[in-house]
Amino acid sequence: MLQDTLQCSAGHFTLLRPGASHKQPLRAWDASDEYLIELVAKQHASSRVTLLNDQFGALAVALNEQVDCWVSDSYCASAALSLNLKENNKSALQQATPLASWSAEPSLGVMKLPKNLSYLHFLLQRCQQAQISTLLIAGMMKHLPKNILNFLQQFGSVQRHPFKKKATVYELQLQQVKPSPYPKLNRFADIELITHANVFGRDKLDPGADFFLQHVDALPQANSVADLCCGSGILGLKYAQINANCHLSFFDESIMAVESAQLSWQENRLNNPSSFHWNDGLGHQQDNHYDLILCNPPFHEQFTVGDHIAKRLFKDAKQSLKPGGQLVVVGNRHLSYHVTLKQYFQRVEQIASNGKFVLLCAHA
C-alpha cells in the first residue's frame, strides 16, 4: 500500500489509502482536509469536535486529541481510519454511524461535504439532534454542487471562507432543520424498496439495475446467493422473489444501504433465509461458499472514478464462489468489465447487451 506524508500545523502524519497503487497513486487526503485542520487549529483550538465523513481518517489523525465522535456511513472509511490511527500511534475514537445516536455533548461539527445533498440534509438533522450548532463543511471547488450556498442557507446562516488550493470551507450556524424525508418507500419491478438518504439511486431505479432485472429470469436457480454491492437490495430481492428457496446474503460498504436492504426485505415479506452484512466486498469470510453472486459494481469511490474497486470486488467474488459458481455483473459497455473479469475467471460469457449495458456471467 502506498503511503504519503501530510504536513500541517498539527504535525507530520503518515497516511495510507487502501486500494492506492503505483498505477493509481491516490492520496488519503485533499486540500479541503488541510483547510479544515488549519481552521480548527486557528479558530477552534479548544473546541470538542464531532467529525463527519472523514474519508480515510486524515482528519481523525490530525485532530485526534479534540475528537469526541467520528461519524461515517462507510465501512471502508472506518477501516482506513483504524489503519491510519495505528500507523500514527493515535488513540482509537468513539465511532458512530449516521443511523445510530451520537454523544449528546455539544461540539463543533467538522465535515467533509458528502456527494449527495439528501444525505447532507439528513446529517444536518442528526447534528442538530446531537446539539451541534456550528459546522465547518469543506469541499474541493470541482466537487461543489452549483446550489450549495442556497442549499445550506435553508438551515441557518452561512459564511464561506476564501478558496485556498481550490478548496473552501462553509461555516454554518445551524438554526432550523426541517425533517429529512428519508427513509422513503418506492416500488420498482414489483418490489417495495425502502431507501435511506445515502443509498445509491434512492428514488430512481438505476438504469444498469433495470437492465439486470430484465434478464433475471434467465439466471440459474441457486441455493446460496449473494447480492454484492446491494444498495437497497433490488437485485437480491427480485431474485429471491422468483427463487423462493434460496438463501440470500446482502453486502454493502454503506450502512445505510445494508439497513435499507434489510427494511426492504421485511417490507416484501419474503420467506427465504437471509443475512445482511456491512462490509468491504464480501469481507473475505466465506471462501467457496456461494453458488451465485449478483453485482452492479460501483465505478467511483467518493469522488474518484475508476475500475479499481470493481477489480478488487471481482477478485473477492472469485474466492467466495464454489467451484462452478457464477458471478453475474452488469456494467456500462465502455467499462469493458469482460476484460477485467477474464483476469480472475476462466470463462466469461455475455448474457445480454444493449447500446449502453452488458450483462456478463463469469464462471469460477
Please, are residues 267 and 259 in contact by the beta-carbon 8 Å criterion? no
Q: Does 252 bind ligand SAM (CB under 6 A)?
A: yes
Least gap, CB of 314 to ligand SAM (angstroms): 12
**DSSP code of 113?**
P
Q: Which amino acid is at 58?
A: A
- Of 155, 144, 146, the C-alpha closest to 121 is 155
CA end-to-end distance (rounded Å), the chain: 28
Least gap, CB of 291 to ligand SAM (angstroms): 19
Stretch that binds ligand SAM, among 63-71, 84-92, 252-260, 262-270 (CB under 6 A): 252-260
Grid coordinates belonging to 247? 438463501
Among 135, 257, 328, 364, contact with ligand SAM (rule: CB under 6 A): 257
Q: Does 259 bind ligand SAM (CB under 6 A)?
A: no
Among 13, 170, 182, 200, contact with ligand SAM (rule: CB under 6 A): 200
Q: How many CB atoms lie within 10 A of CB 20?
A: 19
Compute the C-alpha angle 187/358/19, nearest 5°. Answer: 90
- Of 286, 280, 345, the C-alpha closest to 313 is 280
Please, are residues 315 and 248 in contact by the beta-carbon 8 Å criterion? no
Stretch that binds ligand SAM, among 178-186, 214-222, 249-257, 337-345 (CB under 6 A): 249-257
Stretch that binds ligand SAM, among 60-68, 78-86, 175-183, 227-235 (CB under 6 A): 227-235
Q: Does 255 bind ligand SAM (CB under 6 A)?
A: no
Please, are residues 197 and 256 in contact by the beta-carbon 8 Å criterion? yes
**Which residues between 56 and 95 bind ligand SAM (CB under 6 A)?**
76
Least gap, CB of 229 to ligand SAM (angstroms): 3
Q: Which amino acid is at 221?
A: Q
Nearest residue to ligand SAM by CB is: 231
Q: How far apart are CA 317 and CA 281, in angstroms?
A: 8
**DSSP code of 28?**
S
Among 30, 33, 68, 280, contact with ligand SAM (rule: CB under 6 A): 280
Q: How far apart are CA 60 and CA 53, in angstroms?
A: 10
Q: Does 201 bind ligand SAM (CB under 6 A)?
A: yes
Helices and strands counted in the chain (H then E): 10, 20
Q: Does 114 bind ligand SAM (CB under 6 A)?
A: no
Least gap, CB of 201 to ligand SAM (angstroms): 5
Least gap, CB of 90 to ligand SAM (angstroms): 24
Q: Which amino acid is at 185?
A: L
Least gap, CB of 214 to ligand SAM (angstroms): 13
User: By C-beta, is 109 or 298 nearer to ligand SAM?
Assistant: 298
User: By C-beta, is 108 or 313 nearer to ligand SAM?
Assistant: 313
Q: Does 188 bind ligand SAM (CB under 6 A)?
A: no
Among 234, 248, 293, 362, contact with ligand SAM (rule: CB under 6 A): 234
**Which residues between 305 and 344 bind ligand SAM (CB under 6 A)?**
309
Residues 6+ apart with CB under 8 A from 171: 134, 135, 136, 137, 158, 159, 160, 161
Interface with ligand SAM (CB under 6 A): 76, 200-201, 206, 209, 229-231, 234-235, 251-254, 257, 280-281, 296, 298, 309
